[in-house]
Amino acid sequence: MTESVLLRLCRAQANLAETVIQPWMREHDAGARARLIESMLPRLIDLGAVLRELHAAVWKDLVGGGVREVQSLGEDLQQMWADALAFLGGVRANGRECLAQGYAIDRFDELERVVEALEQVREEHGARWPWIDQETVARSKADIAAGRCYRAKDVLDALRNPNH
């Protein structure tokens, strides 16, 4: 499945960036942080592009019937968006602080747009993902137990013979 491969790649890239950048920013002054952020911006912008690519691929697979574990994938993605935004938001906050202190960061506006785009992706995911809530599952089980459902064979027969 496309989404599982991309999800693993995104996690690996985000973890590597987080492991390298966050400790470094805690230990250095604003000038050094500005230079680090500027040097890492191409990779961070690429990370944002890969995360958006993942979003598109997952929806394509979902609509195409290629996602088997809808709920768990949705939860994994929700956590990944939160983690990525926490990390990139932290870099953005550090960058804003550096800018406020007079340090220039070339292409910082692109990072701002990446974070904004990922915030939109996270919101869309939460709102549109076909979440399975426990109340719906309980109602469905009760309907099945009470016989208020159609057998798959009956549905397929009806689809094959629309005049019936």
Residue 84, CB half-sphere, CA atoms under 13 Å: how many? Answer: 34
Q: Which of 82, 107, 108 is nearest to 97 (CA)?
A: 108
Cβ atoms < 10 Å from Cβ of 164: 7
Domain ranges of the chain: 2-131, 133-164
Q: How far apart are CA 152 and CA 65, in angstroms?
A: 18
Residue 12: predicted pLDDT: 67
Residue 164: predicted pLDDT: 59
* Sequence-distant (≥ 6) Cβ neighbours of residue 89 within 8 angstroms: 115
Q: How far apart are CA 48 and CA 146, in angstroms?
A: 49
* Sequence-distant (≥ 6) Cβ neighbours of residue 27 within 8 angstroms: none
Q: What is the pLDDT along the chain (164 residues), one digit of tens a residue?
A: 555 656 666 666 666 666 666 666 666 788 988 998 999 899 889 888 988 888 898 899 888 888 888 888 888 889 888 888 988 998 999 999 999 999 999 999 999 999 999 999 999 999 999 988 888 878 888 888 898 888 778 877 877 877 75
Report the chain's C-alpha Rg in angstroms: 22
Q: How far apart are CA 1 and CA 3, in angstroms?
A: 6
Record the pTM: 0.71
Residue 68: predicted pLDDT: 83
Residue 147: predicted pLDDT: 85
Residue 80: predicted pLDDT: 86
- Phi-psi map region of 107: left, alpha, beta (phi>0 left; psi -120 to 50 alpha): left
